[in-house]
Chains A and B, each alone.
Chain A
Amino acid sequence: MTATMNPNPSRIQVRPATERDGRRDYISIRDYGFWYGQKQALEGISLDIPERQVVAFIGPSGCGKSTLLRNLNRMNDLVDGIRHVGDITIKGRSIYDPGLEVISLRRRVGMVFQKSNPFPKSIYENVVFALRVMGVRDRSILDEACETSLRKAALWDEVKDRLQDSALGLSGGQMQRLCIARAIANRPEILLMDEPCSALDPIATGKIEELIHELKEQFTIVIVTHSMQQAARVSDRTAFFYLGKQIEYDTTEKIFMNPSQAQTEAYISGRFG
């Protein structure tokens, strides 16, 4: 119990990316630029995200981390007057391919938001929501998906006796883990996390970081974070953005130990941002 609540820093270490197999350009962003109306939010982004690795986006507030993340599952389509140049591909297929339905893209790319946003439904219904909207009616499949995702989100033991209670009765940290369980219930390939721990205490944060480590075995994870320590602890690769531009993208080890850009170094060492 204490081990999970206080993750031992030595146990969570940066592992070299080369150890892990899988495609190196699983998600590939090429010369990507993005505008909200007249305002350019991203410019000239090019980076490859390898399969089953954790990539962290860091950078000062307003630099476009969320924007890029939300473009990976096209959540920004909800905003009026958006425009982009360049391309994003997942397994070689453009997400802007007219033949690709946004809905099927979003089923493959799960998302966890900064502010936990459970539905006003029971815990159970929250977790199986994605399966329900896919048309799964089979009770046994739903039950199983509910249990496995809650277990993966390290929430099962806390809620297994009250699955039918409202999700709004959970604590903030539990809600966030519920949102993670909800995002992984339909087994997406990619998990996007936008500052998932910003509203949590260190213990809940630790749990979620552990979780990310476990999820990495199955999912490719992109995480936005403001905490350098967190980026260092959980990610394999790190991208640093500044004013909508990608300044540096490399293995986390390299970024934190030996950044090639002066701006990166300044940001990491806390001299601006």
Chain B
Amino acid sequence: MSSPSSDSSTPRGEAWVWFTGLGLIVGLGMVIGLLALVVLNGISVFWAPPVPVVQVDDGRTIIGQLAQRRIRPGSLASDPRYELQFQVGLRELNGNSYLWVDEAKLKGEVFPADILGLERVENGPAFLRPLTLKRADGQEVPVTSPAFSESFQQEVAAAGATREKLVELTRHRIGDVNSEMEAARIALRRAEDRGQADEVAEQRKLIATLEARFADLRTEAQGVAQRGEVAKLLGRDAAGREVTVPLSQIVRGWFPNQLDTWGRVRLFFSRLHEFIFDEPREANTEGGLMPAIFGTLVMTVFMSLLVTPFGVITAIYLREYAQQGPILRIVRISVNNLAGVPSIVFGVFGLGFFVYVLGGSIDQLFFSDQLKYNNNTPVFGTGGLLWCSLTLALMTLPVVIVATEEALAAVPRGMREASLAAGASKWQTIREILLPASAPGILTGVILAMARGAGEVAPLMLVGVVKLAPTLPVDAVAPFLHLDRKFMHLGFHVYDLGFQSPDSDAARPMVFATTLLLIILVVCLNLGAIWVRNRLRARFKGASF
């Protein structure tokens, strides 16, 4: 007996299906749109398109890579006029690496094969027409010679090796001497302060030998650098001006109009590799992001390691031990509201409490020598990895607590009773039965916490993330994990590139690439945690939770 009411309710149900489906479509559309924007823009950074020589109406000639095309500001919507942005490079000559050109004023463009693109250590990229290569052995190779391309690439590789050697010299060996010197100076000041004459003499001697070694290394470095200056590339820019680029400045060179697809793909991956595994240069707008990737990863993992035990223990107390009543309800509401507090507030708290109070006390207690004899330079009394992780751990604590409480509550009552009836104590029941059974739920909380923590920027700026950190938070020097060090972070990197960069046009593509990387990193971290969770779930398959 199908009543009329059930008939008339069917179409209404259909309408709701469409309506709710629409919500999903809008949501999905926004997510996919955002991802597509980031992925396309982020990936195009590494792609090397052909580079034209452009003639403009006003007599200018431009050599440059097309960066973007947009509607001219102020042009009519009914009759849009476009303008093109070219990356012309050679900032030291042109004053700016990017130029806007009215599309209507373009007279024509050609793609001569001899155009050379350069990535340089300083002043950004360059596009020019090479004339001669002055090799390190003094020989000159004209561009007309068939050996030009090959010997150019050889010289670039040699210059790269020299640069690496210089980094090794200045950063590592001179850096080691510097830090030894620092320690010796502190020891000297301490000895002077305490009037230990022989100790003073010893430290003086040590400092003298260190200074001698420092001077040696400096001359060695200068020698290497000078030898690297010999090789040069001579060329002409679009306007016909002569340009000389020392090869020591060249990171990478390519002929954008000669490359075949395979060559472009190889260049793409070479740039991608540099982006992921190298260190940044040029105010972070070029080079790689290794320190930032590493910093983000270490900080997020460390934060998860902090927040998980705290959150789980708190949740166990709230759910299993605390007397259920109005006070507990208030505590719960407070914990939940903590999740809604703006993250910058946590940053301020972290700075005020963790950095100044906790860090300050740690310095007073354990590093008083350091403070006294090293111009009051704080160790833990300033932002660092530990305080960043703690601040974010505090921020994400409610997520873990709520997830754990729910997971504990979802363990079937029968299982709890069975354990107690078997003579297990409350703690044994929690440890043996409740925690393993709720592990998947707890991990869901940790995943959410990680996702939120990895993408957070605002509080980190206050408690220890910097634009450029000289050292990584984890290295081969004992104690290996340096909790007091400042570090770089992808989220902050995006902010810094996007809003603080002197050359916003040059930074723009990097913003997308960095964003893409941050998203990939967060996704990878989550996938890892989800994988762990699924393995745990598989162990409890068939259970009624």
Contact = CB atoms under 8 A, between A and B. Distances in A.
A135 B540 CA distance: 25
Interface stretch (A55-63, A89-97, A103-111, A250-258): A103-111
Contacts of A179: 418
A120 B423 contact: no
A182 interface: yes
B412 interface: yes
B421 A73 contact: yes
Nearest to B431: A133
B420 A106 contact: yes
A130 B17 CA distance: 52
A133 B422 contact: yes
A80 B423 contact: no
A31 B432 CA distance: 38
Given A80-B324, A133-B432, A168-B542, A119 B420 contact: no
Interface string A107-129: 10011010101111100000001
A122 to B, nearest CB: 10
Given A117-B414, A119-B415, A133-B428, A111 B542 contact: no
Contact of A106 (B324, B412, B423): B423
**Most B CB atoms within 10 A — which of A73, A103, A107?**
A103
A115 B412 CA distance: 11
B419 A129 contact: yes
Contact of A113 (B414, B428, B437): B414
Nearest to A188: B423
A5 interface: no
Contacts of A110: 421-422
Contacts of B543: 120, 168
B436 interface: yes
Interface residues of B, number: 24
B417 A117 contact: yes
Given A119-B433, A129-B432, A183 B421 contact: yes
A103 B419 CA distance: 11
A75 B539 CA distance: 28
A263 interface: no
Q: Which of A73, A121, A183 has the most CB of B within 10 A?
A: A121
B378 to A, nearest CB: 49
Contact of B423 (A113, A115, A134, A169): A134
B422 A169 contact: no
Given A80-B324, A169-B542, A103 B425 contact: yes
A110 B421 CA distance: 6
Nearest to B416: A78
B265 to A, nearest CB: 48
A166 interface: yes
A78 B422 contact: no
Contact of B422 (A80, A121, A130): A130
A75 B417 contact: yes
Interface string A166-196: 1011000000000100110010000000000
Nearest to A113: B414
B418 A166 contact: no
A247 to B, nearest CB: 28
B542 A106 contact: no
Interface in B388-427: 412, 414-425
Contacts of A106: 420-423
Contacts of A111: 417-418, 421
Contacts of B432: 119, 129, 132-133
A154 B357 CA distance: 65
B215 to A, nearest CB: 66
A212 B471 CA distance: 71
Nearest to A135: B428
B324 to A, nearest CB: 7
Contacts of B539: 120, 166
A254 to B, nearest CB: 32
Contacts of B419: 119, 129, 133
A106 B420 CA distance: 8
Nearest to A105: B423
B414 A120 contact: no
B423 to A, nearest CB: 4
A248 B433 CA distance: 40
Contacts of B428: 133
A186 B422 contact: yes
B541 interface: yes
Contacts of B414: 113, 115, 117
B541 A166 contact: yes
Given A133-B422, A133-B432, A186-B423, A113 B417 contact: yes
A195 B103 CA distance: 86
Interface in B38-71: none
A78 B540 contact: no
Contact of A168 (B416, B420, B540): B540
A80 B414 CA distance: 17
A103 B415 contact: no
Contact of A130 (B423, B436, B542): B423
Nearest to B541: A168
Nearest to B412: A117
A129 B417 CA distance: 13
B423 A133 contact: yes
A166 B542 CA distance: 10
Contacts of B417: 75, 78, 111, 113, 117
Contacts of B421: 73, 75, 106, 110-111, 113, 183
B540 A120 contact: yes
A208 B412 CA distance: 24
Contacts of A120: 415, 436-437, 539-540, 543
A129 B412 contact: no
Nearest to A179: B418
Contacts of A134: 423
A11 B24 CA distance: 66
A133 B542 contact: no
Contacts of A80: 324
A121 B415 CA distance: 11
Interface string B431-453: 01100110000000000000000
A183 B424 CA distance: 12
Contact of B418 (A78, A104, A107, A117): A117
A117 B428 CA distance: 17
Interface in A113-166: 113, 115, 117-121, 129-130, 132-134, 166
Nearest to A111: B421
A81 to B, nearest CB: 11
8 contacts: A111-B417, A113-B421, A119-B419, A120-B415, A130-B422, A132-B432, A179-B418, A186-B422
Given A111-B417, A129-B419, 6 more contacts: A107-B423, A119-B415, A129-B424, A133-B419, A166-B541, A179-B418
3 A-B pairs closest in CB distance: A117-B414, A107-B423, A168-B542
